[in-house]
Structure 1
Amino acid sequence: MEHKELRDLYINVSTGDKKYAGTDASVKIILHDNQGRCTKDIVLDNFFRNDFERGRMDVFHIRKKKLAPLGKIDKIEIWRDDAGLLSDWYVDRIVIEDRENIQVYEFPIFRWIKAKLRYKIKHLDTSLPQLDEHLDQRKMELEDKRKQYEICQKEKGLPVQWDIVSTKADLLTKSKIVKFFSGPWDQVEDVKNLYSDCVFHLPRGADGWKDDLYFANQRIASVNSGVIELCTAIPEKLAVTEEMLKPILEGNSLQYLLDNKRLFIIDFEILEGIHTKPDQFVRKEKNQNVYDHFNVCAPIALFMVDNNQQLRPIAIQLYQQPSSKNPVFLPSDHPNTWLLAKMWFNNADSTYHQALAHLGYTHLLMEGVTVATHRNLSGSHPLFKLLAPHFLYIIAINARGIVKLLAPGGWVDAVMNCGSRGVFDLIKKGIDKWRLDKEGCLPDDLKSRGLDDPNVLPGYHFRDDALLLYNAIQKYASEYVNLYYDGGDKIADDWELQGWGRELVMERESGGVGLKGLPHNGTFRTQDDIVKVVTCVIYTCSVVHAATNFPQYEEYGFPPNYPATFKGTPPTTKDHVDEKQILSCLPSKENSLDVMVVTKVLSAKGTNSLGDFELMYIADPNAKRVVEAFRADLKKISGIIKERNITRRIPYIYLDPEIIPNSISI
């Protein structure tokens, strides 16, 4: 269609849905075309209407007589005064419609507009820094972001970094279960009778907690599915012998199982020596004080793929060094003795899960990446637009929720054997072991654990589903990155990108994030270097967090199944254990309720699904096509996972893209 210069325009201004985003100030705009021409100052004001209210879009009809002569709009210039009581203003986007010529010009803003400062925004506002014609403005805005997002190491050795209390209270108010949570446990099975209302359904762990196959499934399709490894040799510190295992191996030898990749191991050596919370006074009995004692084991467990191609546990040693007081527990032991060993193992597993797999390796690690991204990448940078939806809420949830959980006397102190101090100790030990080119890269992580072959370890649903998602994210990142970087010079000359890499790898004590394993130690040279880092960040903020967070209620919600608190002293002999001894180890009813409530809250998804972004920063039509292709891939993956779950013994729903949020939002 031939473009006509004289026409009416409609300017759509979307004010952000943030606190104090609206303004009472006077706003003006100038439109620039691609021929270097521009309009006079245009006042954006609808008579008798309170414009620019928070979360609202205002439409301004601009008559053609104010616009001539003007061609295709290439840039806008917008500013405000400081009139009115509330002059702060946050703008999401401005869209200009030329309805006569069927033209739409989009200007993503996503900025606080300062008083009396003229902001020049290019059409689509997406450019590398070396190509930005308004570099002074870009540097000023980036400097402002650095002041706002200062890297702070809250405690030496730790990563840099929703009102959960009110949500807990609301759940308890609605639930009828509270009245049952006082006094001692009578029988383990009585715990099941408490789940009788619509607020707290019976978790799946309640039916499987004694079962060996369910215990094994917790290693490969539950909250902590990233620690199991192929066993290539029995470690000397694990005191198993062919003779003791013979009744369990179904006629196979240990060497045969090793040779055929049917033995697997989990070694929680990292838990050795971590802090545990002090003994707690319970009551006075026969003129003596009775205390609860808390321990955390550092166990090693051996698993076998049996002749029916199902994973099952075959040995558990609760501490690292074999001795007469550290026996190897077997499925052939007395059922309650074996059950108690599995419960102590799950207590250790829950300690690792909460401190590292969930908190350390997603929430805290990605908060540092979020801060570094804001500090180094302008809002106009294409990588910022790609990553920003995956950082939504993470700083807020860490500041409001995590602090409450980890505060002295908070939830972690109340319900975990290690307490908050032990959690911090474990994070310090584990955070330096995490590498982007291993734990952050799923194919490399699987290879390092001997599990990259899909024929090894059948039923490893986390691997099988997560690989689909990782590959889709990698494809998405690659197609997007290649839109803007078509050669090495653009990468080398992008000082924002290179500054981001430097800050990501810089030691935490020096003001950086302290990540290890980045390509060329944070110096980006190729498109593949960028894609690897971007893929890791998106994958961790979405898939990894979903896998470690959303199954929590189903496992923790039934205390005997996956006890965060387990009282007493781990067994030092293989003597028979009665149910009373198991009951004495369980957390109090009050603590059990607290675990149920918090894990119920944490397991609830309240934000958009992966690819359905709450805020769409991307405006470039070519990039939008990449996003649409990503969404189509996710839809296919969702169908594949739903189909897989029809035949799975225990469905694994947590990596269905419909369930995965874009960001760490809870």
Structure 2
Amino acid sequence: MPYLMNRLRNMFTSSRDYVSDMLGGADPQYRVHVITGDRRGAGTDSNVYIVLHDIHGQKSDPIACNKVFHNDNERGSTTTVDVKENCGLQGPIVKVDVWRDNFADITFVATITNFLFGQRSKRGSAAWFLDRIEVEEVLTENRKTKESLTNGVNNCQPKDSGVEAPETVHKSSSGDRVWVFPLQRWVAAHKKYCIHMHDCFLPQHDPNFTARREDIMLKREDYKYEQKVEGGPAQIENLPSDEKFSEEYYWTFATEKMNLLTQTKFIEWTTSKWNTLEDLKKVYKQGLGEPECMEVWKEDWWFGLQRLQGVNPNVISLCKEIPENFDVTEDTVKGLLDMSLAEALEKNKIFICDLKIMDNLECKDDRELASPLALFYLNKEDRLLPIAIQLKQKSGHDNPVYTPNDAPNTWLVAKMFYNNAEAQHHQALTHLGYTHLLMEGVVICTNRNLSPSHPLFKLMAPHFLFLLAINTRGLEKLVSVGGWVDNCMTQGVKGIFELMRRGFECWRFDREGQIEKELEARGVLDENVLPYYPYRDDGVPLYNAIKKYVTTVVSHHYDTPEKLSGDWELRWWREELVKPRNQSGVGLQNIPGNSEDGFTDVSQVIDVVTVIIATCSLGHAAANFQQYEQYGFVPNYPGILISNVPKEKKLYTEKDIMTILPDKRMTLDIMVITKLLSSKGTNSLGDFEMQYLYDPVGVQAAEEFQKDLKRLSLDMKRRNIDRQWKFEWLDPEIVPNSISV
């Protein structure tokens, strides 16, 4: 009953204020905008109250943020309330208190509202996610004159106040100042939340220190590690409700999948068995689109380009000497080089792809998988051409070396088996392992140890959007027994998790994590060695733009050694990043710093945060978005081949090649999933779905980042004009903020 009386009192108070405004009451001094978050269950029917605090230490009476006969504080909505000139406040607002009651929506007021306006009752008042409160200064003509006469008193620091005048970077559409108070948390009933402007503090400087620590402890209950596969990555135990897809994103994704399935069902019903490659090509004209490689997939120059700008561009290395287990001699490659093999090695003209990590990988149903070595020659036209392929690691009479001198279809089949092996490496490591699942542990760790008020949390959070959700759904639907990987990839679920285990043992922060160091480790950073390498040429500038952005924000907040050493949340974060996965950690190796002091220099923090953001954006984009272009036409980059690895050089007819390709249903499944995975999920890099940083330095850094990305996008478009083959996957317009597909 008290709740109902309060609600009625607010209703009549709002009506009285409305009548007062109509009759010429006091002008508003401030306009308060209460922005509810856009996530599932974010809205509330509770009574919401705020108190404003100005720079002079004065505060307003409680202000009700509910309007009569109006469904306020709905998900993704803004509720606006005017604060009158006689409210007792003078000058900039520096702090806001906000709270709500637990008024249920099944009340007399809600019933009347629904009856009168046909509004649907919300889900109740069990929760409310407050994104932020914005307080807008309203300067009427009278107030502007008053401000001028007092010489801008509201912009000055009051004498002996002990409070600095806030630096305002936000303006309303009319040019008036706006002070932003982000909370970005769930608001419990009858709990008062005190929000300082911008809410961006290191823990040792946070005025809400106690509440901050309590929030972290609560989040640790929602974000728990689970190692679901022995030796596998750190994953989320149960998906927190905060991490679920938005309804719009979920239905967009589901609708696209349904459309693709419908198209392939029609193809399945209306096409006969594919007896030739030309029969297979006709299928692509009926709906899903023709991958551009269809007309060139047999060409050697195309096979070379796949190593430089395909989905798996981080395998190829400079070769200084032929490995002992690779049975290649001068005679093997005779006629394929315009110099001797020894001279080519000396002149840095030979490159190698060595997939020894695949050796003896146990796959589903004992399927046999190659673990190949492939040798490439950089010719006088700077084209990378394959010159030798050995499909198993151990040389011998049953493991021949294939070359372009062999019969055309024999050489073609060797390239197909190489690509089949590399496809397993791509999906298990480059794509799923080193982006999706590696970053899943980082997301969990960040939520467990960094407060939403921490500047590093705010810096990284836009790049974590939907990552846990897509991983949970992807593993359930695609990487499960009987799922897509099990049926449409040679390795199956059994092999993919074993390959990930091997890969995680090899991954090092100071090598694989940083793009220039990783390229340098493979000997391909220098463009004089490998002139044409789109992945490098687009990836390095994009990585450096991200690092510049991170450096600006991180250096500002850690501008003294004491701030770095005094940040206990940062120490907690690093500790869990390096803790072994079987001990509830992320298990990242070679993270800078040490176990006693944590990070010892701000440059170390910059490097780690840059790697995380780059992995969630450019790293995933390079591995993901051209999947349909590579996998869609199955012979080009076969995820599965229905045959054992060849042990001799035999002659193949086109009919023989068709028999080792997957059947119609499997091919259509590959087309659907790779088409779906190639769709873009979140906004382009830098165009953040949700703003976290509101402080002046953060806002300016984001604006500069966006300018840098636009310049890079233009540079990449110009480079594409003269490239051997279009490569647009690291264009900032294509690269999303996060891993969401």
The normalised TM-score by structure 2 is 0.85
Are 1:210 and 1:339, in contact at CA under 8 Å, matched by a contact in 2? yes
Change (3 A) 1:195 1:362: same
Deviation of 1:91 (Å):
1.0
Provide the residue aligned with 2:663 in structure 1: 588
Pair 1:296 & 2:376 matched: no
Q: Structure 1: any 5+ residue segments left out of the alignment?
A: 280-293
2:488 and 2:666 in contact (8 A); partners too: yes
Determine the C-alpha separation between the residues in 2 that align with 1:306 and 1:80: 71
In the alignment, which of 97, 113, 117 is matched to residue 77 of structure 1?
97
The correspondence of residues 129-168 of structure 1 with structure 2, limited to 5 A, is 129-161=203-235, 167-168=256-257
Contact 2:281-2:294 within 8 A present in 1 as well = yes
Q: Which position in structure 1 is the counterpart of 2:55?
A: 34
**Kept in 2: contact 1:556–1:562 (CA 8 A):** yes
Q: Distance in 1 between matches of 2:254 and 2:272?
A: 24
Change (3 A) 1:176 1:276: closer
Which residue number corresponds to residue 262 of structure 2? 173
Whole-angstrom distance in 2 between the partners of 1:621 and 1:665: 29
Return the alpha-carbon distance in structure 2 between the equivalents of residues 167 and 111 of structure 1. 32
Higher relative contact order (CA 8 A, sep 6+): 1
CA distances 1:624-656 after superposition (whole Å, capped 9, x unpaired): 111111111110100010000001110101000
Task: Confirm or deny: 8 A CA contact 1:82 1:116 kept in the other structure.
Answer: yes
Corresponding residue for residue 263 of structure 1: 350
> 2:318 matched to 1:318?
no
Residue of structure 2 in register with 1:331 after alignment: 404
Equivalent residue for 2:172? none
User: For 1:24, which of 42, 45, 64 is the aligned residue?
Assistant: 45
Asked if the contact 1:209–1:215 (Cα under 8 Å) also holds between the matched residues in 2, the reply is: yes
2:295 to 207, 215, 220: 207
Cα offset, 1:109, TM superposition: 1.5
Amino acid at match of 2:91: G
Q: Does 1:450 align with 2:523?
A: yes
**Structure 1 residue 182, shift from structure 2 partner:** 6.4
Deviation at 1:32, TM superposition (A): 1.2
Q: Which moved more, 1:533-542 or 1:451-460?
A: 451-460
Partner of residue 571, structure 1:
646
Question: CA offsets, 1:523-554, max 9 Å, x none?
Answer: 21111001000110010000010000001000
Measure the CA separation in 2 of the matches of 1:180 and 1:301.
Answer: 40
Conserved? CA contact 2:264–2:672, under 8 Å: no
Q: Does residue 427 in structure 1 map to residue 448 in structure 2?
A: no
Matched, 1:348 2:449: no
Identify if the C-alpha distance between structure 1 residues 430 and 182 changes in structure 2 by more than 3 Å, giving closer, same or farther: farther
User: 1:95: which partner in 2?
Assistant: 134
435-444 vs 571-580, which moves further:
571-580
Q: Deviations over 1:400-419 (max 9, x none)?
A: 12321011101111101111
Measure the CA separation in 2 of the matches of 1:617 and 1:450.
39
- Quick check: 2:260–2:288 contact (8 Å CA) kept in 1? no
1:68 aligns with 2:88: yes
Deviation string for 1:148-187 (max 9, x for gaps)? 1112211221111276776433212245752367654311
Aligned to 1:284: none
Aligned AA (1:72): P
- 2:687 matches 1:612: yes
Q: 2:52 is paired with a residue of what secondary structure?
A: strand
- The answer to whether the 8 A contact 1:310-1:458 is kept is no
Output aligned runs, 1:366-515, within 5 Å: 366-515=439-588
Which has the higher mean CA deviation after the structures are superposed, 144-153 or 220-229?
144-153
**Does structure 2 retain, via aligned residues, the 8 Å contact 1:505–1:521?**
no
Match of residue 278, structure 1, among 337, 362, 365: 365
Given that residues 416 and 636 in structure 2 are in contact (C-alpha distance below 8 angstroms), is that contact kept between their aligned partners in structure 1?
yes
Q: In structure 2, what residue type is equivalent to 1:269?
A: K
Moved more, 502-511 or 571-580: 571-580
Residue identity over aligned pairs, in percent, reads 45
Amino acid at match of 2:714: G
Structure 2 CA distance, aligned partners of 1:484 and 1:623? 10
Task: For 1:352 and 1:388, locate their aligned partners in 2 and report how far apart those are by CA, in whole Å.
Answer: 29
8 Å CA contact 1:38, 1:70 repeated in 2: no
Alignment of 1:122-133 (within 5 A): 122-133=196-207
Q: Which amino acid in 1 is paired with 2:194?
A: K
Q: State the AA in 2 paired with 1:518.
A: I
Larger radius of gyration: 2
- Aligned equivalent of 2:380, options 304, 307, 318: 307
1:189 has 2:278 as partner: yes
Q: How far does the alpha carbon of each residue in 1:80-122 deviate from its partner, in whole angstroms, 9 at most, with x for none? A: 1111141110011110011216321101111100111110110
SS at match of 1:236: coil
* Residues matched between the structures, number: 645
- Whether 2:187 is the aligned partner of 1:113: answer yes
Check whether the contact 2:424–2:491 (CA below 8 A) recurs between aligned residues. yes
Counterpart residue identity of residue 136, structure 2: E
What is residue 171 of structure 2 aligned with on the other side? none
1:70 deviates by 3.4
Task: State the distance in 2 between where 1:233 and 1:542 align.
Answer: 35
SS of aligned partner of 1:368:
helix
Q: Secondary structure at the match of 1:138?
A: helix
Q: Distance in 1 between matches of 2:483 and 2:693?
A: 40
Q: Distance in 2 between matches of 1:431 and 1:182?
A: 43
State the AA in 1 paired with 2:201.
S
Mapped partners of 2:229, 2:55: distance in 1 = 53
2 CA distance for matches of 1:596 and 1:342? 21
SS in 1 for 2:306: helix
1:17 deviation in Å?
Answer: 1.3
Q: Which of 337, 346, 349 is the matching residue for 1:249?
A: 337
Distance 2:270 2:73 in 1: 51
Map 1:231-246 to 2 at 5 A: 231-246=319-334
1:146 shift after superposition: 1.2
Q: 2: distance between equivalents of 1:166 and 1:621?
A: 40
Question: Could you tell me whether the CA contact under 8 Å between 2:630 and 2:637 is conserved in 1?
Answer: yes
CA distance in structure 1 between the aligned counterparts of 2:697 and 2:495, rounded to whole angstroms: 49
C-alpha offsets along residues 557-589 of structure 1, whole Å, 9 cap, x if unaligned? 001111101011221111222222211100011
The Cα RMSD (Å) is 1.6
CA offsets per residue over residues 445-495 of structure 1, 9 Å max, x none?
A: 011111121222222110110001011111111111111111211101000
Gaps of 5+ in 2: 1-25, 106-123, 145-175, 236-244
Alpha-carbon distance, 1:273 to partner: 1.2
User: Following the alignment from structure 1 to structure 2, what is the Cα–Cα distance between the partners of residues 387 and 447?
Assistant: 27
